[in-house]
Chains A and B, each alone.
Chain A
Amino acid sequence: MTSGTRTILQGLAAVVALAFVVVQPAKAVEVQRVVSPGGIEAWLVEDHSNPIIAIDLAFRDGGAVIDPAGKAGLANMVSGLIDEGAGELDSRSFRREMENRSISLSFSAGLDRFFGGVRTLTKHRDKAFELLRLALTEPRFDDEPIERIRAQILARLARDSEDPDTIAVLTMRRLLLPDHPYRRPLRGTAESVAGITRDDLVAYSKRIFSRDRLVIGVTGDITAGDLATLLDETFLGLPEAGDPVEVAEAEPRAEGDLVVVEREIPQSTAIFGHAGIRRDDPDYYAARVVNYVLGGGSFASRLYEEVREKRGLAYSVYSYLQPLDHGAMILGGVATQNGRIGESLDLIRAEWARMAESGPTEEELRDAKTYLTGSFPLRLSSSGRIARMLVGIQLQNLGIDYLDRQKAFIEAVTPEDARRVARRIFDPKALTIVVVGQPDGVEATREVPPDNS
């Protein structure tokens, strides 16, 4: 876009500001819905206290889950390459433009979405948006960066191939989702990454980088009017709509199996879990509360108390909800010396069953609720975190007033809800376990599932 059009657009910038107020007294974080003349929407929290700007964005349906069969790791590889040369700038020129102005551009693929982020000083704002535009609309995918980034991914895969946590998580996904694309490693396999071509990379970026999939959050030293102008300059070059994608729904299959992946290490690393609860499920907030009580609190949870505090069986023990766009899991982890991992697993199974049977106590429920509501402002601790949160709220369709309402969702969880949802989501018979190490006294109930990525 030329500088002439820019002046005109500035005058036309349509800005809608919807204010909401974060829970704490005497403090307000105002989120503005900024809609550019060209119709690009972004949510903005203005903050002029430091001369910096954080931009976060996501493309829906753009993650590893849509990697074509045999091309696992494609979305991840695209994320490594679009800031390695675009437009007239080859890789080295592009990186110099960024780094000598301390502009940071980062892209990553999740399972469901493709993410981007920009951090810049105000004085380099226009250049930062320009580089973002180039990366998204004119990535070059030159041979040199393709082979270099491929080598880096292969090196990473080689390192991860003996990492106990990675082995455990990937084995668990193959167990729970044997036929679904979610089972595949996000970064692919040595074989699939070796087979990704330039055409694949180009096709992916054409298919996914489109305005109908795009969600944007911005925080920092920029006005709504300036942002509106930059939104058009940056994103209007993207196609209005990308190709639709079809992803099958994932139904996690958990039958209470235990799998042992043998590795010569002194400590067994275990991952456990089964099907979970989706983000748009009406019981989601109650599920967050009961999971917090079981294993979500970092220094206060039943698992922490039983496994670590009372017995010293682990440094780290936890559980978490993993809601995905096409399925959901509840997962947890623990690591204990080989000779005693069986004790840890017995305790975890018992706590899983106790939670399913009777849910949290009234006191636990009250503490969980005050933690979850009281900790919300901690998400506002940096510009980047605020920008990411603005993107997250949009991705989940929670509404611009979500920050106002989130406290009420948690507070509305009654003891009956908590017991009912605990019974609903925790299923001790289905609890599936993967152990990596040389565990003593732990019987595998089935073979390690084959790697069918």
Chain B
Amino acid sequence: MTHSLSLRRLGVLTGLAALLLTLGRPVQARVFEPESFTLDNGLQVVVVTNRRAPIVNHMVWYKVGAADEEPGKSGLAHFVEHLLFKGTETAKPGEFSDLIARNGGRENAFTSYDYTGYFQTIASDRLELMMQYEADRMANLVLTDEVVLPEREVILEERRSRVDNEPGAQLSEMARAALFMNHPYGISIIGWEHEMRQLTTEDALAFYRRWYAPNNAVVVISGDVSLEEVRPLAEKHYGALERRAVPERLRPQEPAQLAPRRVVLKSPRVRQPSFSISYLAPSYNRGEEGEAYALEVLSEILGGGTVSRLYLSLVVEQGLAASAGSSFGGDDLDLSTFTFYGSPRPGTDLALVEAALRKEIDKLLKDGVTAEEVAEAKERLQSAAVFARDSVSTPSRVLGAALVVGQTIEDVEAWPERIGAVTAEQINAVARAVFDERRSVTAVLEPEPTS
């Protein structure tokens, strides 16, 4: 494999990439044109001005997620996310939510492997209130069994809705656990039920104290506001918090993977079979320079929309599949995954679709992609970056997700340019490195006749 996981070597690479970027100024359009500053306590604040409507999107991202949980405490990062709505030394449980609603705002929060985030969209003249309350719960959370124990029931119900009632989601959990044999990316984000049941108020507080600190957070604000307006508010509210020691995020890494794995879930509740083939893949962070960008272009060629190779071949020309495609995103702190998927037309055997898809992978490895395919895919991806500016929340989402895994604003802004630099040779090389069947998991969802 070309993407070694030596941290030291990666550090050098990142430095070199950064240097090259500073020297050669881009000619291409930028993406969001954000502005940024960092408070003395280490909190980074990013602002994207968008004057379309008198509203702002305010997002607080913490550099901690499910992959940072201790063994045996699966679901804890997500549980803590829920518990941040339960009040502080000065705010009663639910007070912040009630205040947001009374002011016409909307809010929510999310947890992934590498990050946890909280956001509100609200009239721009209420931004300071949002910062005041977010800063408060960054440092002063209060938890008691009285609020924690019912919320533990809520996350168990959430698990039942999202996973236990959904065979496809159950299979995804099994497939990820098979793909990541050692890295915590193999553990369910929402948590394994038996471990969720054991999570306590003390667990939640310990996790909170360990990871929630201004120097471990990024605030991204997008909308009807400027950096000059944000700075004094951020200094007043977030600036008052103290920097605290936060652990390094050192996760167990994958061993050499030597055997392909196949996971099959059969259920009478499945009426439409489907399958996926996932490979371990480099991310922006873990790989040689440019590999993740090459994989993004490759995924667009193979599986992006109805003019992609897989759709045209499996769905249109051979008429075997109802759907077929691929997905890749490089925004992981550690390894990413490249996934192919397909589902047969009713009456067609899934095995035929799987065989046809594998043939496309073989063809790719043998013949590679053409320069024309690469040019078209790059154009489509670069156009997507123009649309990304449009909504008030997209800039906060994209910038936050990048910054919390160690990417820089420059990385995000240079994305169209780096996509533009991808060559067919790079794509063919990374495809041969990544699509190694020994580092893959095939997951199959099959109907089971009721007896």
Contact = CB atoms under 8 A, between A and B. Distances in A.
A263 to B, nearest CB: 7
Given A155-B343, A375-B104, A382-B392, A27 B157 contact: no
Interface in B103-127: 103-108, 121-125
Contacts of A148: 315-316, 319
B268 to A, nearest CB: 7
14 contacts: A24-B124, A25-B54, A52-B386, A99-B306, A102-B387, A152-B322, A154-B322, A267-B157, A267-B164, A312-B157, A367-B98, A371-B103, A373-B104, A378-B104
Contact of A370 (B55, B97, B102, B319): B102
A264 B268 contact: yes
Nearest to A300: B101
Interface in A140-175: 144, 147-148, 151-152, 154-156, 158-159, 161-162, 164
Interface string B364-380: 00000000000010011
A50 B158 contact: no
Contacts of B343: 155
A311 interface: yes
Contacts of A337: 156-157, 160
Interface string B252-293: 000000000000000011111000000000000000000000
A147 B319 contact: yes
In this complex, the interface size class of chain A, counting residues with CB under 8 Å from chain B, is 35 or more
B358 interface: no
Interface string B418-441: 000000000000000000000000
B383 interface: yes
Contact of A96 (B50, B57, B307): B307
Across the A-B interface, the 6 shortest Cβ-Cβ residue pairs:
A374-B104, A312-B153, A102-B383, A312-B150, A380-B53, A24-B54
B54 A52 contact: no
B164 A308 contact: no
Contact of A310 (B150, B164, B312): B150
A91 B392 CA distance: 34
A234 interface: no
Interface centre among B53, B108, B124, B315 (most CB of A within 10 A): B53
A336 interface: yes
B94 to A, nearest CB: 7
Given A151-B345, A314-B154, A382-B391, A50 B51 contact: no
A164 B343 CA distance: 21
Interface centre among A144, A147, A162 (most CB of B within 10 A): A162
Contacts of B322: 151-152, 154-155
A409 interface: no
Contacts of B98: 300, 367
A50 B389 contact: yes
B384 A374 contact: no
Contacts of B97: 299-300
Contact of B154 (A265, A297, A312, A371): A312
B445 to A, nearest CB: 10
Nearest to B224: A27
Interface residues of B, number: 71
B319 A315 contact: no
Interface string A352-382: 0000000000000001001111111110111
B61 to A, nearest CB: 19
Given A373-B104, A381-B121, A381-B391, A309 B55 contact: no
Given A92-B307, A267-B164, 13 more contacts: A24-B123, A24-B125, A52-B387, A102-B387, A151-B345, A154-B345, A155-B272, A263-B269, A299-B107, A308-B154, A336-B157, A380-B52, A381-B52
Nearest to A161: B271
A154 B319 contact: no
Contacts of B128: none
A311 B150 contact: yes
Given A26-B54, A50-B386, A380-B53, A267 B272 contact: no
A49 interface: yes
A213 interface: no
Contacts of B107: 299
Nearest to A366: B102
A52 B123 CA distance: 24
B305 interface: yes
A306 to B, nearest CB: 11
B192 to A, nearest CB: 15
A95 interface: yes
B324 to A, nearest CB: 11
A119 interface: yes
B267 to A, nearest CB: 9
A162 B273 CA distance: 12
A22 interface: yes
Contact of B165 (A47, A144, A269, A298): A269
Nearest to B389: A50
Interface in B141-194: 149-158, 160-161, 164-165
B390 interface: yes
Contacts of B341: none
B51 to A, nearest CB: 7
Given A27-B54, A92-B312, A314 B157 contact: yes
A266 interface: yes
A203 to B, nearest CB: 25
B386 A95 contact: no
Contact of A100 (B101, B161, B307): B307
